[in-house]
Amino acid sequence: MDETINLLYYFYSPMNTENAMGKPEIPQFTLYGERTPIDSAEFVHIELIETRSCLYDWHIASHTHRGLFQVLFLLGGQVRARIDGATWECDGPTVITIHPSVVHGFEFSKEAHGFVLTVDQSVLFGAQAALRADIFSILFLEPLAIDLAGVPEVRQRIESLLGHLMTEFSSPLAGHALMLDWLARSVLLLLLRQHTDHRSADLSGRAGFETFSRFRALVEAHYHAQWSVAQHADQLHIAETRLNRLCLKLGGKSAFDMAQQRLMLEARRKLTYVPASVSSIAYELGFQDPAYFSRAFKRHTGMTPKQFRRQSASIAL
Same domain, 192 and 270: no
- What's 295's domain CATH number? 1.10.10.60
Asked whether residue 278 falls in the same domain as residue 194, the answer is no
Among 202, 226, 249, the domain-final residue is: 202
| Boundary residue ending a domain (202, 231, 252) | 202
- Given a cut of 90, whether residue 3 has pLDDT beyond it is no
Largest Cα span, the chain: 78
Whole-angstrom distance, CA of residue 41 vs CA of residue 27: 22
Asked whether residue 221 falls in the same domain as residue 172, the answer is no
Segment 270-293, tens digit of pLDDT: 998 888 999 999 999 999 999 999
Q: Give every CB contact of residue 180 below 8 A, 6+ residues apart in sequence.
A: 42, 44, 165, 168, 169
Kindly report the CATH number assigned to the domain that includes residue 161: 2.60.120.280
The strand pairing partners of 103, in sequence order, are none
Look up the domain containing 238 and give its range. 206-316
- pLDDT tens per residue across span 121-131: 777 765 444 44
Q: What would the mean pLDDT of 120-148 be, rounded to a whole number?
A: 71
CA distance to 37, 64, 137, per residue, from 30 (Å): 7, 8, 21
3-state secondary structure of 274: coil
pLDDT reading at 110 higher than 60: yes
Same domain, 36 and 67: yes
Average pLDDT, the chain: 83
Q: Are residues 164 and 40 in the same domain?
A: yes
Beta bridge partners of 15: none
pTM over 0.75: no
Mean pLDDT check: name the lowest of 16-30, 86-100, 118-132: 16-30
Alpha-carbon gap, residue 209 to 220, rounded angstroms:
17
Does one domain contain both 243 and 294? yes
Does residue 237 contact residue 231 with C-beta atoms inside 8 Å?
A: no
Average pLDDT over residues 142-158: 91
Domain count, the chain: 2
Whether residue 241 sits in one domain with residue 111: no
Q: How far apart are CA 248 and CA 163, in angstroms?
A: 38
228 and 196 share one domain:
no
pLDDT exceeds 90 at position 30: no
* pLDDT, average across residues 89-111: 92
The type of residue at 12 is Y
**Co-location of 90 and 179 in the same domain:** yes
> With contact defined as beta carbons under 8 Å apart, do 195 and 148 qualify?
no
DSSP character for 287? -
> Are 114 and 11 part of one and the same domain?
yes
Same domain, 101 and 225: no
Domain end call among 172, 202, 232: 202
Question: Are 170 and 264 members of one domain?
Answer: no
Average pLDDT of span 10-37:
56
